[in-house]
Amino acid sequence: MQQTIVVLKFGSSVLRSVDDLPSAVHEIYRWYRDGSRILTVVSAMGDTTERLLAQACQLAPTPDVHATAQLLATGERASAALLGIALERAGVPARVVDPREIGLMVSGSPLDSEPVSVESSRLLSMFDEHPVLVLPGFFGHTEDGRLHLLGRGGSDLSAVFAATALRAQRCRLLKDVDGIYESDPAVPGSRPRRFSTLAYEDALRVAGPLIQPKAVNHLAVNGTAAEVAALAVPHESVVHSRPTVLADRLPEIPAKRVLILGLGTVGFGVYQRLLAMPQWFTPLGALVRDRAKHEAANVPGDLLHTAEEAVLSLDPDIVVDALPACGVSSRLVVGFLRRGIDVVSANKGLIVDEAAMLADAQRGSGAVLRFSAAVGGSAPMIEALRAAAKRGPLIALSGILNGTCNFVLERCAHGAALMDALAEAQALGFAEADPSEDVSGRDAERKLRILAEVAFGQRLLSVKADPLTDDIAAAASEASRRGSSLRQVSRVRRSHGGWIGRVSFESMAREHPLAIATGEWNALLLTQSDGRSVRVVGRGAGRWPTTEAVMADLLEAHRENGAALKEKIAFRDGVVRQSCRYMTRAST
């Protein structure tokens, strides 16, 4: 099965500092959960290149060009490495790639070369193991092994060159502005129009400060296209061979007011991310048990509520349900859905146990319930199932669905006692203070029920779940001595009357597609009727993986809000206007 390849390039105006890395991860995860393979090309952060060059010039008025090239390339290397670490924290399977590994060859002067070749087959083979690759832009190597730069703005050229070689479906250059304008939109009092599309020659004329001209020339020579966009927006300016078209002016959309139910492990992670994205989200309030605890964590007191009635009186645009149990969560979520307010939930118990009530609450209200975070952490299992079901019938699914059990089994395989392994999981934030849901198999059972209904359109007839016991922990150690791995595996199979589920412990070869999910990572294996299989992996436990899934749902709601505005304007006066685009404030 051929998968979409997307090249994303993050410029220094987007990656200004380490604080911007989580927003870059959100953008990458957006495309990963859509099923794409992503090559991420990065520039040095902020003014790193200028600072390094100034240091070189302090030592010598005309520093050696080869040494200077080596020095400046460290900015891109550091940026790529840090992004790789940020992706790993969020549970996105990624690999940082050195240009030398993929044979990115260049030719020309040391500080202003041109790319000449890249081993695209090597990149494609890397995608088999890591769906996200991170490449430092701006440099490559000559035939004699010397490091050369691609000139000012050279990461743009790295991105479009790699996209052409890979025949990528999209190449998106991410900047601090949401497209290409007639003139600088940051100039006070100016109201330039944004371009929907630009012909190559027009891009060279108006976009010189935004896109490296060598990158535009490469697009023109190869007849390919690239997009210029900002983070999290549903629109772009496309540079390609077709005519130049201006986009309509559209009103900006205000930041969504978000109510968070619960400020525990996940809820507080979401709160921190909302604060970092004020152009898109504003925390409206949070339901908590202990005000003093959260005030001590610098959450403003006027955001904290301890009574259900208090949060029901609020008027949010969207609600995040990060509560651990059904009672309060059910009453509040159903109430907001009936009022037509969208909800993002990480509460698997709610999704399974109150499915009928939730469906009834949405019926007629127009509200949307998103629950990707309820299953798999940062492994986009629900999205993968929906995409696979569109391609054809699914005949089976199996997976590692509980990151806590997977972590504990691995520790037991290395000799730890069950209770010690559970205590370690709790200390690391992979298990709740009461781990009974994980240990009993109930957590995996609920997740399996959700996945089965998405995959097959019907509820499971039954699910049998085996608990994690001291005997199972001992079996994990024994399996390890034999060279295999013991895993808690959740499976669905067809019976005479429908589909049934099973959560049990299985010994499997370490090379098995599910066994390679180690520690707290999750994996899902889908089998289609034509024999094709799809595997999805991601970190399944911890604050940041689940926060990533919640944020993906929130950002999707933000983009869909923009798409709805686009459609509304497009049909204004009964006329379909194909060039319409939703425009937000440019971040410049």
Please give the CATH number for the structural domain made up of 381-541: 3.30.360.10
Q: Which residue is listed with tokens 């025949």?
A: 167
Amino acid at residue number 334:
V
| Dist. CA 416–CA 463, nearest whole Å | 29
Q: Which residue is listed with tokens 């009993």?
A: 440
Name the token pair of 416. Answer: 């730890």
Question: In the chain, which residues fall in CATH 3.30.360.10?
Answer: 381-541
Question: In the chain, which residues fall in CATH 3.40.50.720?
Answer: 256-376+545-569
User: Helix, strand, or coil here: 14?
Assistant: coil
User: What angle (nearest 5°) sits at the alpha carbon of residue 166, between those of residues 160 and 169?
Assistant: 75
Per-residue confidence (pLDDT) for residue 230, from 0 to 100: 94
Going by their DSSP bridges, the two strands 394-400 and 484-494 should be labelled as antiparallel
Give 194's DSSP letter. Answer: B
* Strand partners of residue 181: 194
CATH of 5-246, one of 3.40.190.10, 3.40.1160.10, 2.60.120.10, 3.40.50.720: 3.40.1160.10
Predicted TM-score (pTM) of the model is 0.92
CA distances from 255 to 86, 159, 558 (A): 25, 31, 9
* Strand partners of residue 261: 287, 321
Name the token pair of 369. Answer: 């319930």
230, 586 Cβ separation under 8 angstroms: yes
547, 266 Cβ separation under 8 angstroms: yes
Per-residue confidence (pLDDT) for residue 561, from 0 to 100: 77
Amino acid at residue number 382:
I
| Dist. CA 196–CA 174, nearest whole Å | 15
Nearest to 67 by CA among 147, 151, 181, 175: 147
Rounded (10°) angle between helices 327-338 and 355-362: 20
537, 376 Cβ separation under 8 angstroms: no
Name the token pair of 343. Answer: 């909800």
| Dist. CA 18–CA 198, nearest whole Å | 33
Question: In the chain, which residues fall in CATH 3.40.1160.10?
Answer: 5-246
CATH architecture of the region 256-376+545-569: 3-Layer(aba) Sandwich (3.40)
User: Helix, strand, or coil here: 82?
Assistant: helix
Measured between its terminal Cα atoms, the distance across the chain in Å is: 40
Query: What is the number of residues in the chain?
Result: 588
Q: Please list the pLDDT of the chain residue by residue as tens digits (588 residues).
A: 468 999 999 999 999 999 999 999 999 999 999 999 999 999 999 999 999 999 999 999 999 999 999 999 999 999 999 999 999 999 999 999 999 999 999 999 999 999 999 999 999 999 998 999 999 999 999 999 999 999 999 999 999 999 999 999 999 999 999 999 998 888 888 889 999 999 999 999 999 889 999 999 999 999 999 999 999 988 999 999 999 999 987 677 789 999 999 999 999 999 999 999 999 999 999 999 999 999 999 999 999 999 999 999 999 999 999 998 778 889 999 999 999 999 999 999 999 999 999 999 999 898 999 999 999 999 999 999 999 888 888 988 999 999 999 999 999 999 999 999 999 999 998 888 889 999 999 999 999 999 999 999 889 999 999 999 999 999 999 999 999 999 999 999 888 888 999 999 999 999 999 998 999 999 999 998 888 888 999 999 889 999 999 999 999 999 887 655 555 444 443 333 332 222 222 222
Per-residue confidence (pLDDT) for residue 563, from 0 to 100: 59
